[in-house]
Amino acid sequence: MSSGIALQAIDLVKHFSTGSSGVLGRATNIVQAVDGVSFTLPTGKTLGIVGESGCGKSTLARLVTRLINPSTGSVILDGVDITTMSGKSLREMRRKLQMIFQDPYSSLNPRHSIGQIIGDPMRIQGIVSKTNEKAEVQELMQRVGLNPEHYNRYPHEFSGGQRQRIGIARALSLRPSVIVADEPVSALDVSIQAQILNLLENLQKDLGLSYVFIAHDLSVVRHIADQVAVMYLGKIVEVGDAATLYSSPAHPYTKALMSAVPVANPSLRNSDKRIRLVGDVPSPIDPPSGCRFRTRCWKATDLCAAVEPLLQPDATGRAVACHFPEAGPVSIG
């Protein structure tokens, strides 16, 4: 049993092959979706993972929950290596580690009532008996802010925010200790986002949950996370506690990411402190040599092309994968 580490990823790698060549179809075009990612999630805390499209964060979420299998690397859940589990032990593992998905419109089976959606996992895993299933489900519904009398209703009868609450209730139904949330509020209106985030934070406090929270919205992650990891093209480029990372980002990509977010304050418009990245994200099939960010980095040198900078944690747990990390606070917003 480990002391206070809920979830750990060690050197996770996932390569997908697309395309094939030759008469017999050998695999070419390997997409290096996740290329050597490690992180540690302390019990009761939230690790936020931010990045843009193609950085591998969604693949990482599926690797960690064993919805897909890593090419190499391992996942440790509460001290137990779950990477190669299968059959009964995998099913038992699922009680401890659950997932919330992004799209409230496609992640619920439209032909099941919400009573079924929330109750089925509990009943199948034997956590409740048939007789007290309904009571348990209704208690969960109340906990996530749904009206228990809507037990027999179907997903299409609910709004986006309510459906996401159903998804949260479903994740909670197995009484997990760790929840991986893949962009849980991205598809929701701003006023509803705030409600769901408050709910997630309250649940964490009440139930002692640990979260891996994946999002592309920096403000959302800053609010809810204790620690934040920034991903780019399949690798973590910076990780550290949320407050420090946001006030003084060390990796040039993190800095650019933060300065790109439009702040709700018109007087900060046209501030020339804003960094504008040039060009597009390179293809994950053929990432740049050395540091993957160098093609868009204003500081890139020959060293960056030749040697890949490694993620070295310092004494405070902060780590940056850069040969020339930034220093000092970012004075924007």
In the numeric block, which tokens belong to residue 152?
């027999």
**Alpha-carbon dihedral angle through residues 292, 295, 298, 303, given to the nearest 10 degrees:** 60
Q: Which of 202, 204, 156, 161 is nearest to 184 (CA)?
A: 161
Binding flag, residue 260, another protein (CB under 8 A): yes
> Using CB under 8 A, which of the segments 22-30, 61-69, 81-89, 285-293 binds another protein?
22-30
- Cβ closest to another protein, residue 4 vs residue 262: 262
User: By CB under 8 A, is residue 85 in contact with another protein?
Assistant: no
C-alpha–C-alpha distance, residues 58 and 101, integer Å:
10
Determine, following the binding rule CB under 8 A, whether residue 190 of this chain makes contact with another protein. yes
Is there a contact between 77 and 97 (Cβ–Cβ < 8 Å)?
Answer: yes
**Do 42 and 96 meet the contact criterion of CB atoms below 8 Å apart?**
no
The interface with another protein within residues 200-239 (CB under 8 A) comprises 201, 216, 218-220, 222-223
Considering beta carbons, is residue 4 or 279 the nearer one to another protein? 279
**Position among 277, 305, 330, 332 found at the interface with another protein (CB under 8 A):** 277
Judged by CB under 8 A, which of 149, 206, 264, 315 binds another protein? 264
- Comparing C-alpha atoms, which of 220, 231, 144, 148 is closest to residue 188? 220
Spatial distance between the Cα atoms of 12 and 15, rounded to a whole number of angstroms: 10
Q: Which residue in 109, 142, 147, 159 binds another protein (CB under 8 A)? A: 159
Contact 137, 115 (CB under 8 A): yes
Member of 43, 74, 125, 195 binding another protein (CB under 8 A): 195
Query: Judged by CB under 8 A, does residue 59 bind another protein?
Result: no
Kindly state whether residue 110 participates in binding another protein, applying the rule CB under 8 A: no
The size of the chain, in residues, is 333
Residue ranges binding another protein (CB under 8 A) = 19, 21-23, 25, 52-53, 159-162, 189-195, 197-198, 201, 216, 218-220, 222-223, 243, 246-247, 256-257, 260-269, 274, 276-277, 279-281, 333
